[in-house]
């Protein structure tokens, strides 16, 4: 059974990989046997995690700085990644941003563009560049990290919700565009208690969780099972899927 989830000698690139859910995915892929490319805007954090991964798993880990909202930086990221490994077997579009705004009138053009660039434009460009190479080579798996906000938009996250709804749509579109050698799937996350949750009003959140089927937020490591499924041969007949991983939010 373990062979189904084995990633030995695969190469995985994770955006937003230095913290939160991305950090958990990087560590899980390496533990499953993959070499990893850790990408985020913060090079030092990527370097620290890369050193930790290499020491604890023996797998190769390369830290690369990239702002996925910038087209040219994405092109450079892909060039360096392929020069380092010659192939990428697993791409995880995890980087995301959801700035706080007091009212919709406070949403500037710059803020709106920034949210859509990181959450939608970046994944599009990465799937075009890496997905096309996967399709021309040995195939691969692409995993998009979306949000329950894509289908449950609220007033304080409208641009973010729009970006994630677009990512859901692109998951299905790219599944067809890159078939049959590349599988493209999506994990639509509910609230996870990552470092970002430190800024939440936890009293209000605990009250909100009373409406969740599981009555709690997710722990970061709880994304690993779904990600390993999509990354590995365990999901060999699965593409274009959008998996809700939200603890049963209403």
Catalytic residues: 160
* Among candidate residues 10, 90, 75, 77, the one with its CA nearest the CA of residue 46: 77
Distance CA 158, CA 78 (A): 30
User: Between helices 109-116 and 158-177, what is the axis angle to 10°?
Assistant: 30
| Beta-carbon contacts of residue 175 (< 8 Å; ≥ 6 apart) | 183, 184, 185, 239, 240
Both tokens of 87, joined, read: 């192939």
All residues at 6 or more sequence positions from 126 whose CB lies less than 8 Å from its CB, including other chains = 15, 68, 74, 78, 91, 93
CA 105 – CA 160 distance, rounded (Å) = 16
């Amino acid at each position: 059974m373990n062979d189904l989830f084995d990633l030995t000698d695969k190469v995985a690139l994770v955006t937003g990989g230095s913290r939160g859910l991305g950090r958990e995915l990087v560590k899980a892929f390496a533990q499953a046997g993959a070499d990893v490319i850790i990408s985020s805007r913060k090079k030092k954090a990527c370097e620290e995690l890369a050193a930790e991964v290499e020491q604890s798993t023996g797998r190769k880990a390369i830290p690369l700085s990239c702002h996925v909202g910038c087209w040219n930086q994405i092109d450079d990221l892909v060039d360096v990644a392929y020069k380092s490994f010659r192939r990428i077997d697993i791409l995880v579009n995890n980087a995301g941003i959801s700035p706080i705004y007091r009212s919709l009138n406070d949403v500037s053009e710059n803020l709106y563009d920034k949210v859509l660039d990181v959450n939608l434009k970046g994944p599009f460009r990465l799937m075009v560049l890496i997905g096309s190479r996967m399709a021309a080579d040995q195939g691969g798996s692409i995993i998009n990290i979306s949000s329950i906000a894509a289908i449950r938009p609220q007033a304080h996250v409208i641009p973010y919700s729009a970006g994630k709804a677009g990512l859901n749509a692109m998951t299905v579109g790219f599944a067809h565009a890159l078939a049959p050698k590349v599988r493209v799937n999506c994990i639509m996350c509910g609230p996870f208690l990552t470092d970002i949750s430190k800024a939440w009003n936890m009293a209000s959140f605990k009250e909100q969780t009373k409406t969740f089927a599981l009555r709690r937020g997710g722990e970061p490591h709880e994304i690993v099972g779904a990600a390993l499924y999509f990354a590995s041969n365990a999901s060999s007949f699965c593409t274009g899927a959008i998996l809700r991983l939200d603890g049963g939010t209403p």
